[in-house]
Amino acid sequence: MRVERGVTVADLLAEPRLQAIMRLVAGEEGRDRAIHHPRVQKPGLALAGHTHGVVPTRVQILGETELTFLEALSSEEQLERASVLFGLGLSLVVVTRGAEPPVALLQAARETSTPLAVAEPRSSRAIQTLHRVLDGILAPSETRHGVLMDVHGVGTLLLGPSGIGKSECALFLVERGHRFVADDQVILSLLPSEQIIGRAPTLLRNHLEVRGIGIINVRDLFGANAVRLEKTLQLVVEICLWNDDEPYDRLGLDESTLDILGVPIPMLRIPVRPGRNMAVILEVAARNHILKAAGQHGAQKFISTLMGHMEDPGSEPGQ
């Protein structure tokens, strides 16, 4: 299901990476204002009276340069300039370097119900963090029913019909030291780098449904190292019921892909039946994907060796 991305100020500030560095100091009434642009803006010229080009739905950053300029003005001029800026209907204004906002900014924020936040890092780091967060939540996205895991560093999306055992596979993998990202609903977003990032909806974050037990909190049970907020998608594994009449790939030469948001992602189709250790199989799939990405294709190498032996039956395989 393709969805249009957007975020309110409240949801943006609730992102863990921003919660760690940013706090809201005024304008709480405007927390439902929307942000629709993944890039921030520095409205220094607006403080000088030139408001053309200010995009209200972008996050506005006031760093050391802007604050120094503002504090050099008289109290009356500060109030006037702040009123002009905050009168533009801004979604969110962020003061960096942990600086206490001037009284004029606090007053203008309260009068216009404009959210005003303070970020502890300097402007460059605060902007980088905001860009990373906004790239993820404002990117073209779709939601898929599945489970997302980090297996040996490979972002692996498990697909398959309900009840096939995707969540149980995730639990086995977590027990073996791999990291859990999302269960049931996986939000997949296309970044400007053409990478696909997957994460869980906020309400489902860290939670996994295990039939017969119920919903568990993976972070609480296994610790913080057992979970990730998001992971780049590199491999899709469709888990299906074993069918003796279906010709499954036995050599590994088929290079199937699944199109997600216009990006082809390598895909495997793995049948499940009693006795198969799916956790080990998924670990091998991830390791094999790493080898392929490094240019080592075991199946192709085997076939090449076999063909060479057939052409020269007297030679030893591998020579």
The full DSSP string for 10-32 is HHHHTSHHHHTTEEEEE-GGGTT
**Catalytic: which of 166, 178, 179, 228?**
166
32 neighbors 10 (Cβ within 8 angstroms)? yes
167 neighbors 147 (Cβ within 8 angstroms)? yes
**Catalytic: which of 135, 150, 183, 184?**
184
What DSSP designation does 33 have?
-
Tokens of 196: 């696909």
Tokens of 198: 């997957």
Active-site residue, 145 included: yes
291 neighbors 298 (Cβ within 8 angstroms)? yes
67 neighbors 99 (Cβ within 8 angstroms)? yes
Query: Given the structure tokens 């780091």, which residue do they identify?
Result: 125
DSSP bridge partners of 221: none
Burial of 171 (0-12, 13-18, 19+ CB in 10 A): buried
Pairing of the two strands 141-151 and 154-159: antiparallel
**Catalytic: which of 36, 110, 145, 297?**
145
**Catalytic: which of 2, 52, 211, 250?**
250
Q: Nearest 5 degrees, angle CA 213-CA 217-CA 222?
A: 100
Active-site residue, 166 included: yes
Active-site residue, 231 included: no
101 neighbors 118 (Cβ within 8 angstroms)? yes
Active-site residue, 131 included: no
Residue numbers annotated as active site: 145, 166, 184, 250
